[in-house]
Structure 1
């Protein structure tokens, strides 16, 4: 067995982030506060590279141990590495939005191809079967998820805490539903991010950077697709577990598009950003995200996984309070500075 890899991933990510922090400080790779920032102190960035390297190296061990298939290895490794490379370059020098999105589409197509696209899904009005339409939707889904994860990585600890909650909740649902054969990837990612979080929880001593946030977004998306092939209800459960990020980012995007804003322009109008200013605390918001995941989204996902409610109904029930919360905290409303 390779159970040793999980504590090793925590330690490797923790030590790797420490090394990257020293590197970023020595090279002055810093996030300097500006009018659209949610932090007030210059902070090194790029620590998410530790997550990328530890996770991808461990994938090789999993494939050699027959815990994941060669196709899953190729899909995850290729997509994750390409997205991380784009993010790494963007952390060091700006990459134009059109090239970033093109790269994201290529990475999403690669991952969706090797993981066979979306699993069969009952959408209520349509039963989605594997094919070109399912592949196209899978690509759009992955591109959106990796970008929204980037958008939501704006205060200390929030992106890492979300990833830990989602992955460990996913492991629990796999075990409860008898799908232990797919626990390896989320358990590994959760442990890896946990090591990074030691340095990133409020007050953050290093930021994840685009190299980490984009990587987490596409890897979580690919894991949700893998889960759906194990059991269709699990795909819906992953969408529920990712609800805080999906609802906040999507509602904010719609509001900004309706207003005519440039969607790739930096801003502070997500609900979690408004909340961090309202409470004058990153810690309160990040801990609240953890609490919502455990106390609300995990039970909703549990009901869907075990078949007590349908996927679409469970998703709707889970998302309505999140949407109300996002609207209450002014998601998408432009900040007016006096």
Structure 2
């Protein structure tokens, strides 16, 4: 029932948003860094964010999670989506958005890991805050972020089926998948609609929460999540570090990510999305399966999972 509700409500809200985005001023007009050529409705991420929040109200089949736990997930997810929606319309200052995201990450981290060691808790909060921003940084091509999100969620959902104690992971991933499928239809290149900051920060929070939650259920699931996220983690972290080394502001708009360089090299958004899908199917998912079920230490699977992404980063440096 929750999956049907997430899909149906997301589709309905997205179709409504298409009609009101223009009159309400939610339009992304192309500039020098844009990959699109025509004004496009932006901010549609609030539609699947709201759909997930409502669908999680449906009674589920996994036990052990308190009403507070789920309420914080819903409230924080919807909260960052609303802040992102305001930013899509009014362009909020970067410091204000970062402050809100850190507050949300702190609330979510304390709820999920409140009994953990203070150092571990601090690292988890920082990781969750970074995840919120990371997906936003990577949202620059039609269908790119939603392709990655679906690969992460479907891969993690399949693996978690073999961990009876992690039924909650399966449920949370499939609710998000259900809400994202209608958006994929409208966002696939050439996109008719953009998720905007409202969708990117919601996905960043939700995926980050999934990673932390999966780790609390079984460390092997946490490793699998890390591996599935690796293409985005390598690209975003490498780009941020190189810009910091050069003394450039992390908040300054740019087009230096590997996926943007590869886009300039290929001239095809479809090629980039297909490449990401092939990477996930041929390398990341097998490495995640190794981490979850292999006889050797999961650390080797995590290390090996970085290889294709690092190769792509090195290759992408050829294209300024």
TM-score with structure 2 setting the length: 0.94
How far, CA to CA, are the matches of 2:2 and 2:60 in structure 1?
13
User: Does the CA-based 8 Å contact 2:128-2:205 persist in structure 1?
Assistant: yes
Matching residue of 1:58: 55
Match among 3, 8, 21 for residue 24 of structure 1: 21
User: Does the CA-based 8 Å contact 2:154-2:177 persist in structure 1?
Assistant: yes
Aligned length: 319
How far, CA to CA, are the matches of 1:104 and 1:112 in structure 2?
12
How far, CA to CA, are the matches of 2:313 and 2:127 in structure 1?
21
Match among 279, 285, 290 for residue 292 of structure 1: 279
Q: Which runs of 5+ in 1 are unaligned?
A: 118-128
User: Does the CA-based 8 Å contact 1:32-1:41 persist in structure 2?
Assistant: yes
Matching residue of 1:267: 254
Matching residue of 1:313: 300
> Is 2:313 the counterpart of 1:326?
yes
Range with greater deviation from structure 2 (63-72 or 284-293): 63-72
Instruction: Please state how far the C-alpha of 1:68 moved relative to its aligned partner.
Output: 4.5
Range with greater deviation from structure 2 (85-94 or 18-27): 18-27
Match among 118, 137, 147 for residue 133 of structure 2: 147
RMSD: 1.9
Q: Which runs of 5+ in 2 are unaligned?
A: none
Match among 230, 244, 254 for residue 231 of structure 2: 244
How far, CA to CA, are the matches of 1:68 and 1:16 in structure 2?
29
- Return structure 1 stretches of 4+ with deviation > 6 angstroms: none
Matching residue of 2:162: 176
Matching residue of 1:301: 288
TM-score with structure 1 setting the length: 0.90
User: Does the CA-based 8 Å contact 1:247-1:322 persist in structure 2?
Assistant: yes
Matching residue of 1:35: 32
Matching residue of 1:210: 197
Range with greater deviation from structure 2 (106-115 or 285-294): 285-294
Matching residue of 2:110: 113
> Is 2:182 the counterpart of 1:185?
no
